[in-house]
């Protein structure tokens, strides 16, 4: 099975879209011991999807494609309330937890336990989807592979939760659907049993004031997400609570600077310098995966290390210049060497400029300001 040719027994053709049956696809993954990154997108709301990372038919991780902060807040409250729950820009909960492990704040067994619990919760929602559009990449794309467990054994522990999630989907499409109160009238308390209906009806306007996703409501109520959906069922079934697509908390208009460097120190310094001055930093540590991420993000500026494993900065810059959507993005090469030959070679592959490490905060800020302003002016000309 590949991204372009999924097995016919796992996929149905509906109009012009191929819809996969997630349960059958995952059985195929297990049986054929497949490896890669699968993305199941909800056909009812294409803004919502679920990632499944597998290796040789084993589970590496599973999570949502959107709503990382909302879901992470919910999962932390349940499994690790002692942790800070603020994710950095463009950081997934997987990256955050691995960072805590590397900093010595989590042991490896603790990390694996949390990743396993977080993955189980995502698998419940993947299996609850009757159909989904499917995309598969042969490379998992996870920076650290610290979890490797049999999917079949994992699922055997989730049967009851999957059954409940399937039932919930009959009236709530996804825990990442935005919930909105559709009436300005008083919510009738008699939709619920009298012993607590009055309290629920009175609380709904405040609970749903900012169009939260189910995870946020569950976090406020300190309840499990599925139990929270069951609590809201009468209002959802009666149309008092509407469901909007997940669109993210707010639109981010900050200039985007991508930093491609396998040094954590450089990544941390670049993020600290630029984000405090109003930039959004996209940190990429694996050059072989950088092009697809850059294509999705369309940064205003790319900072690129020359000396990296697997693919050096010269080759990556050359490939970037051959990519239609990225060929005009300014690229500044980062290196510890300040030789004339390196500068000439950088220019030959299409680099815009050259910055020698270590650099000062002012040098980096001046460079970012110069090139992001130039790129903005050219895009509006």
Q: How far is CA 370 from the centre of its chain?
A: 30
Q: Which of 168, 203, 227 is the last residue of a domain?
A: 168
- Position 13 scores a pLDDT of 38
**Do 225 and 303 sit in the same domain of this protein?**
no
List CB contacts of 198: < 8 A, sequence separation 6 or more.
189
Pairing of strands 49-55, 36-41: antiparallel
Q: What is the pLDDT along the chain (381 residues), one digit of tens a residue?
A: 443 334 545 544 333 346 889 999 999 999 999 999 999 998 888 889 999 999 999 999 999 999 999 999 999 999 999 887 788 777 889 999 998 999 899 999 999 999 999 999 999 999 999 999 999 888 777 878 899 999 988 888 899 999 999 999 999 999 999 999 888 788 888 888 877 778 888 889 989 988 999 999 999 999 999 999 999 999 999 989 999 998 755 556 789 998 888 887 888 888 889 988 888 888 777 777 777 778 777 899 999 888 887 788 888 888 888 888 888 899 998 887 766 767 777 788 888 888 888 889 999 999 999 988 765 555 544
Number of neighbouring beta carbons within 10 Å of residue 286: 17
- Position 124 scores a pLDDT of 96
Q: Is residue 250 part of a domain?
A: no
Answer yes or no: pTM beyond 0.75: no
* CB burial of residue 257 (10 Å; 0-12, 13-18, 19+): buried
CA–CA dist 90, 68 (Å, integer): 10
- Position 1 scores a pLDDT of 40
CATH number at residue 343: 3.40.50.2300
User: 């990519």: which residue's tokens?
Assistant: 323
List CB contacts of 349: < 8 A, sequence separation 6 or more.
314, 315, 317, 318, 321
Q: Is residue 198 part of a domain?
A: yes
Q: How many domains does the chain have?
A: 3
In the sheet that holds 149-150, the strands lie side by side as 11-14, 17-20, 132-137, 36-41, 49-55, 58-64, 149-150
**Do 195 and 272 sit in the same domain of this protein?**
no
Helices vs. strands in the chain: H and E counts, helices first: 14, 14
Angle at 99 between CA 35 and CA 109, to 5 degrees: 70
CA–CA dist 319, 3 (Å, integer): 22
User: 């500068």: which residue's tokens?
Assistant: 343
Q: Is residue 2 part of a domain?
A: no
Domain with 312, as residue range(s), is: 256-380
- For residue 242, what are its two tokens? 């509407």
**Do 265 and 221 sit in the same domain of this protein?**
no
Q: Is residue 346 part of a domain?
A: yes
Do 14 and 20 form a contact (C-beta atoms < 8 A)? no
Q: Is residue 3 part of a domain?
A: no
**Do 156 and 20 sit in the same domain of this protein?**
yes
**Do 235 and 273 sit in the same domain of this protein?**
no
**Do 340 and 375 sit in the same domain of this protein?**
yes
Q: Is residue 186 part of a domain?
A: yes
Q: Which of 132, 149, 168 is the last residue of a domain?
A: 168
Q: Which of 244, 264, 297 is the last residue of a domain?
A: 244
Do 179 and 241 form a contact (C-beta atoms < 8 A)? yes
- Position 37 scores a pLDDT of 93
**Do 262 and 237 sit in the same domain of this protein?**
no
């Amino acid at each position: 099975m590949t991204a372009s040719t999924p097995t016919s027994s796992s996929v149905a053709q509906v109009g012009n879209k191929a819809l996969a049956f997630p349960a059958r696809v995952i059985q195929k993954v297990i049986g054929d011991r497949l490896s890669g990154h699968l993305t199941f997108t909800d056909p009812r709301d294409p803004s919502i999807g679920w990632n499944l990372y597998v290796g040789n038919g084993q589970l590496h991780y599973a999570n949502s494609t959107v709503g990382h902060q909302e879901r992470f807040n919910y999962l932390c409250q349940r499994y690790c309330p002692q942790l800070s729950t603020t994710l950095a820009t463009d950081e997934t909960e997987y990256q955050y937890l691995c960072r805590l492990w590397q900093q010595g704040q989590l042991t490896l067994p603790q990390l694996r336990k949390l990743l396993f619990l977080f993955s189980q919760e995502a698998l419940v929602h993947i299996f609850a989807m009757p159909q989904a559009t499917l995309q598969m990449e042969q490379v998992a794309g996870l920076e650290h592979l610290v979890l490797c467990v049999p999917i079949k054994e994992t699922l055997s522990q989730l049967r009851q939760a999957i059954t409940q999630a399937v039932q919930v989907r009959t009236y709530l499409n996804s825990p990442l659907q935005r919930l909105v109160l559709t009436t300005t009238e008083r919510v009738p308390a008699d939709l619920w049993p009298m012993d607590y209906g009055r309290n629920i009806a009175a609380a709904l306007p405040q609970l749903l004031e900012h169009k939260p996703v189910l995870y946020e409501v569950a976090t406020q109520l300190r309840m499990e997400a599925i139990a929270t959906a069951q609590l809201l069922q009468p209002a959802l079934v009666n149309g008092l609570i509407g469901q909007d697509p997940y669109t993210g908390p707010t639109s981010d208009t900050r200039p985007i600077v991508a930093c491609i460097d396998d040094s954590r120190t450089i990544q941390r310094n670049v993020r600290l310098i630029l984000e405090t001055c109003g930039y959004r930093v996209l940190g990429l540590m694996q050059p072989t995966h950088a092009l697809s991420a850059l294509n999705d993000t369309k940064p205003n500026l790319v900072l690129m290390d020359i000396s990296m494993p697997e693919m050096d900065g010269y080759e990556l810059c050359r490939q970037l210049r051959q990519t239609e959507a990225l060929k005009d993005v300014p690229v500044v090469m980062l290196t510890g060497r300040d030789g004339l030959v390196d500068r000439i070679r950088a220019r030959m592959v299409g680099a815009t400029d050259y910055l020698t490490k270590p650099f000062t905060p002012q040098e980096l800020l001046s460079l970012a300001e110069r090139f992001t302003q130039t790129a903005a002016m050219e895009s509006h000309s």
